[in-house]
């Protein structure tokens, strides 16, 4: 039997995209993902093929839409109550809220994840969706993820989240004790890795600035040698600022 989403998570009758997402997740709770056709989704959602095409280009895109729905459910919460917690605790609470939002769709999520394991190309595309979701989860927790170091943080968190989801899918404890323990372990490990990454970033940033300055100087020199000087050239003024 499919696990039906809670009524508050359901789309409104006029929300075509929401109805399609609901239909796919309900079908995935009962059927192999590969065996679900777009026409099946349209029938379950009571929408036309034209409506589906206007809303999504593919089944995989519907999964991305589901991920954005979960993002919104988490981000709609007021995070002010987490202000007194440290960053790791804030992220823990944010990710637990994410699991709470996903709970009504657990069986559909189980099949979707199994399908992604069978379809590497789709998994690669969904990895980008997942890392973007994690970007917003970090924002909700008040944690920055900018630059090259931020990209590493995001990818690491996305991979850790995948591991947590696997534990969550098989965690029969209503208190989710195994899931919480795994999430705590993953965040602790990630916190240590990020601390090391930040130290490396701090050490290399002066060298990065020197390399950038050298590159800019070389570019200006090449520009200066590419044409003969005119009598009205502005001498030593920086003309590259325009």
Each residue's pLDDT expressed in tens, for the chain with a length of 242 residues: 344 444 345 555 559 999 999 999 999 999 999 999 999 999 999 999 999 999 999 999 999 999 999 999 999 987 777 777 888 899 999 999 999 999 999 999 999 999 999 999 999 999 999 999 999 999 999 988 888 778 888 999 999 999 999 999 999 999 999 999 999 999 998 777 665 445 444 433 444 444 344 445 555 655 565 444 444 444 433 333 34
Residue tagged 């995001």 (tokens): 154
Q: Considering Cα of 108, then 113, then 117, then 123, what sign does the dihedral take?
A: positive
Task: DSSP letter for 240, please.
Answer: G
Instruction: Give the model's pLDDT for residue 237.
Output: 35
The region that residue 173 occupies, defined by phi over 0 for left and psi between -120 and 50 for alpha, beta otherwise, is beta
Task: Confirm if 59 and 24 have CB atoms less than 8 A apart.
Answer: yes
Of 223, 161, 220, 153, give the one whose Cα is nearest residue 191: 153
Task: Confirm if 99 and 74 have CB atoms less than 8 A apart.
Answer: no
Of 23, 31, 13, 26, give the one whose Cα is nearest residue 52: 23
Instruction: Give the model's pLDDT for residue 202.
Output: 43
Instruction: Give the model's pLDDT for residue 223.
Output: 59
Domains in the chain with CATH codes? 7-200 (1.10.357.10)
Question: What is the Cα–Cα distance from 113 to 32, expressed in whole angstroms?
Answer: 11
How far does CA 17 lie from the centroid of its chain? 20
Angle (nearest 5°) at CA 59 between 58 and 64: 95
Question: What is the Cα–Cα distance from 6 to 102, expressed in whole angstroms?
Answer: 10
What string of DSSP letters covers 99-127? HHHHGGGHHHHHHHHHHHHH-HHHHHHHH
Instruction: Give the model's pLDDT for residue 220.
Output: 61
* Half-sphere CA count of 72, side-chain side, radius 13 A: 8
Judged on CB neighbours under 10 Å (0-12, 13-18, 19+), 170 is exposed
């Amino acid at each position: 039997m499919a696990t039906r989403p809670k009524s508050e998570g359901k789309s409104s009758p006029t929300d075509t995209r929401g109805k399609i997402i609901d239909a796919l997740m309900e079908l995935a709770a009962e059927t192999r993902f590969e065996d679900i056709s777009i026409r099946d989704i349209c029938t379950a959602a009571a929408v036309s093929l034209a409506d589906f095409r206007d809303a999504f280009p593919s089944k995989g895109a519907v999964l991305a839409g589901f991920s954005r729905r979960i993002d919104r459910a988490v981000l709609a919460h007021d995070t002010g109550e987490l202000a007194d917690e440290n960053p790791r605790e804030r992220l823990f609470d944010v990710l637990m809220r994410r699991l709470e939002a996903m709970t009504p769709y657990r069986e559909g999520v189980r099949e979707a994840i199994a399908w992604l394991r069978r379809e590497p190309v789709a998994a690669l595309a969904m990895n980008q969706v997942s890392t973007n979701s994690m970007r917003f989860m970090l924002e909700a927790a008040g944690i920055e993820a900018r630059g090259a170091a931020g990209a590493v943080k995001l990818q690491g968190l996305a991979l850790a989240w995948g591991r947590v989801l696997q534990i969550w899918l098989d965690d029969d404890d209503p208190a989710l004790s195994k899931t919480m323990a795994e999430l705590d372990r993953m965040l602790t490990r990630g916190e240590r890795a990020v601390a090391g990454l930040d130290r490396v970033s701090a050490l290399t940033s002066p060298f990065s600035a020197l390399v950038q300055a050298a590159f800019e100087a070389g570019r200006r020199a090449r520009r200066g040698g590419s044409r003969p000087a005119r009598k009205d050239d502005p001498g030593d003024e920086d003309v590259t600022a325009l």
